[in-house]
């Protein structure tokens, strides 16, 4: 007889994967033969630039990479990270003490709670926010205090609305700009204020900079670490997934406060033996490319944004144009919940969007649209929605 072994309490605390239910609905309709336009995901649809792929192919022939990589990553990759941050953000980093290589940014975002939080410790999370922040919190058995992100405050936390007692208890704060899901973009002055708050209340700040390369209308999203004193109180996590269409490569890094970097290194020493050296060489090559290579990918999303927003305005759907990321955060018509509206678009228009309540309480009333398919498919999605006569 096969035994059924009970899972640990840590696994039981993990939040339900909200979007698993959505994926099941989409698959059911696809199996029936319907043409589904999937705007509900956050997965880049374009291939990795060929020169990066070619570098991987070449590097894979290096027999030195067929052995275990150094536990804490190849020095040449960490040096490339430092060069990239100096070039892009004028931030100086020490490759040995202020850089750690991650198996994708999601890994680091889950690990950091386990590195810094104990049972009952408090962390500040944006609401709405990336759901996987909750996973690390659950593993750590920590407590969550949310920071509402509203359109009235440009989808930035209002620190004046957080009472001093909560700030004093908080050990960790998650931020994410350009933002998923709201597409809001932070200002340098907001990050300056964040550093002041964090220093005053002894909070470690984790800035998830996944969409750092994707700013629109001529505005380059600032790095949190460019604010004076930011390295004293926090780290920034950056992934190659969005900047270089390398989502499947699972390569990212964290930079900043040396004590936090050492904690991330330590937990990874016990869990992994670094990343295949050829991938690290290709990643270093990507980071050393000139700005024009990054600009090509950014321009693709800005063109899609412009086409999509023009089309939804034309059918009477009014929303603020995204300032960054590859998402649009759209208010839903009166009379629906976010989930009801998303279900309606799926069932009647065969268009997949992500309901805002999947990102938190303050996501209710919105849907998230991923600009992750060709312009023609984005415009086809709007035509299908127009036929529902909702606006």
Any idea what DSSP says for residue 125?
A: E
Global pTM? 0.95
Say whether both 106 and 23 belong to one domain.
no
CA–CA separation, 151 vs 36, rounded Å?
30
The confidence score (pLDDT) of residue 130 equals: 92
Percent of the chain with pLDDT over 90: 88
Q: Which residues have CB under 8 Å from 175's CB, separation 6+?
A: 126, 157, 186, 194, 205, 206, 207, 208, 224
Say whether both 226 and 320 belong to one domain.
no
CA–CA separation, 106 vs 237, rounded Å?
9
Given 247, 272, 290, the domain boundary residue is 290
327 in a domain, yes or no?
A: yes
The confidence score (pLDDT) of residue 291 equals: 75
**Residues 350, 35 contacting (CB under 8 angstroms):** yes
Say whether both 59 and 37 belong to one domain.
no
Say whether both 329 and 247 belong to one domain.
no
Please give the C-alpha separations between residue 381 and each of 68, 115, 122, 389, in angstroms, as whole numbers: 47, 43, 42, 14
What's the CATH number where 149 sits?
A: 3.40.640.10
How many structural domains comprise the chain?
Answer: 2
Say whether both 317 and 190 belong to one domain.
no
On the question of pLDDT at 21 being above 80, the answer is no
On the question of pLDDT at 28 being above 90, the answer is no
**Residues 322, 175 contacting (CB under 8 angstroms):** no
Return the closest-CA partner of residue 29 out of 284, 257, 270, 343: 343
Say whether both 73 and 89 belong to one domain.
yes
Q: How many residues does the chain have?
A: 391
Helix (H, G, I), strand (E, B) or coil at 48: coil
Say whether both 256 and 304 belong to one domain.
no
Q: Which residues have CB under 8 Å from 67's CB, separation 6+?
A: none
20 in a domain, yes or no?
A: yes
163 in a domain, yes or no?
A: yes
For tokens 């509206």, what's the residue? 341
Given 249, 268, 290, the domain boundary residue is 290
Q: Which residues have CB under 8 Å from 322's CB, separation 6+?
A: 183, 216, 305, 309, 328, 329, 371
Task: Supply the range of the domain harboring residue 305.
Answer: 12-47+292-386
The confidence score (pLDDT) of residue 274 equals: 87
Per-residue pLDDT band at 94 (split at 50, 70, 90): very high
Looking at every residue in the chain, the average pLDDT score rounds to 95
**Residues 234, 198 contacting (CB under 8 angstroms):** yes
For residue 255, the surrounding DSSP H or E stretch is strand 252-256
Per-residue pLDDT band at 15 (split at 50, 70, 90): confident
Q: Which pair of structure tokens corresponds to residue 266?
A: 């330590």
On the question of pLDDT at 20 being above 80, the answer is no
Per-residue pLDDT band at 40 (split at 50, 70, 90): very high
Say whether both 283 and 298 belong to one domain.
no
Say whether both 251 and 284 belong to one domain.
yes
What's the CATH number where 40 sits?
A: 3.90.1150.10
2 in a domain, yes or no?
A: no
224 in a domain, yes or no?
A: yes
On the question of pLDDT at 290 being above 80, the answer is no
pLDDT tens readout for residues 374-390: 999 999 999 999 999 99
180 in a domain, yes or no?
A: yes
Say whether both 302 and 281 belong to one domain.
no
pLDDT tens readout for residues 167-204: 999 999 999 999 999 999 999 999 999 999 999 999 99
On the question of pLDDT at 101 being above 90, the answer is yes
Sheet of 366-370, strands arranged across: 327-331, 366-370, 354-355
Say whether both 116 and 28 belong to one domain.
no
5 in a domain, yes or no?
A: no
Q: Is 143 left (phi over 0), alpha (psi -120 to 50) or beta?
A: beta
For tokens 């104990």, what's the residue? 118
**Residues 206, 177 contacting (CB under 8 angstroms):** no
Please give the C-alpha separations between residue 364 and each of 128, 167, 286, 337, 340, in angstroms, as whole numbers: 9, 26, 38, 7, 11
Say whether both 78 and 24 belong to one domain.
no
Q: Average pLDDT of 350-369?
A: 96
Given 273, 290, 307, the domain boundary residue is 290
210 in a domain, yes or no?
A: yes
Q: Which residues have CB under 8 Å from 266's CB, separation 6+?
A: 115
pLDDT tens readout for residues 128-156: 999 999 999 999 999 999 999 999 999 99
């Amino acid at each position: 007889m096969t035994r059924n072994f009970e899972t640990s309490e840590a696994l039981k605390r993990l939040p339900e994967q909200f979007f698993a239910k959505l994926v099941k609905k989409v698959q059911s309709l696809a199996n029936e033969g319907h043409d589904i336009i999937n705007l509900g995901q956050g997965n880049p649809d374009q291939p990795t630039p060929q020169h990066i792929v070619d570098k991987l192919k070449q590097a894979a022939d290096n027999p030195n990479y067929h052995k275990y990589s150094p536990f804490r990553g190849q020095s040449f990759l960490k040096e490339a990270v430092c060069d990239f941050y100096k070039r892009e953000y004028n931030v100086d980093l020490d490759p040995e003490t202020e850089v750690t290589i991650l198996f994708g940014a999601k890994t680091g975002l889950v690990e950091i709670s386990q590195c810094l939080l104990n049972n009952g410790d408090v962390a500040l999370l944006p609401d709405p926010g990336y759901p996987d922040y909750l996973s690390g919190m659950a593993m750590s058995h920590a407590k969550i205090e949310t920071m509402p992100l509203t359109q009235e405050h440009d989808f930035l936390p209002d620190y004046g609305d957080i009472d001093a007692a909560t700030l004093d208890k908080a050990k960790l704060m998650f931020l994410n700009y350009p933002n998923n899901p709201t597409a809001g973009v932070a200002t340098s002055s907001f990050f300056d204020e964040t550093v002041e708050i964090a220093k005053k209340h002894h909070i470690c700040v984790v800035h998830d900079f996944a969409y750092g390369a994707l700013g629109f209308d001529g505005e380059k999203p600032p790095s949190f670490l460019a604010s004076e004193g930011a390295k004293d109180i926090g780290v920034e996590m950056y992934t190659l997934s969005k900047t270089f269409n390398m989502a499947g490569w699972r390569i990212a890094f964290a930079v900043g406060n040396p004590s936090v970097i050492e904690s991330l290194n330590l937990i990874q020493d016990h869990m992994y033996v670094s990343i295949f050296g050829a991938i690290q060489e290709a990643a270093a090559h990507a980071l050393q490319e000139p700005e024009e290579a990054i600009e090509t990918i950014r321009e693709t999303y800005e063109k899609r944004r412009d086409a999509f927003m023009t089309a939804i305005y034309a059918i009477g759907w009014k929303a603020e144009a995204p300032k960054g990321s590859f998402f649009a955060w759209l208010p839903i018509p009166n009379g629906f919940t976010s989930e009801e509206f998303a279900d309606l678009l799926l069932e009647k228009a065969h268009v997949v969007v992500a309901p805002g309540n999947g990102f938190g309480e303050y996501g209710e009333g919105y849907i998230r649209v991923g600009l992750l398919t060709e312009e023609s498919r984005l415009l086809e999605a709007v035509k299908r929605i127009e036929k529902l006569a909702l606006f």
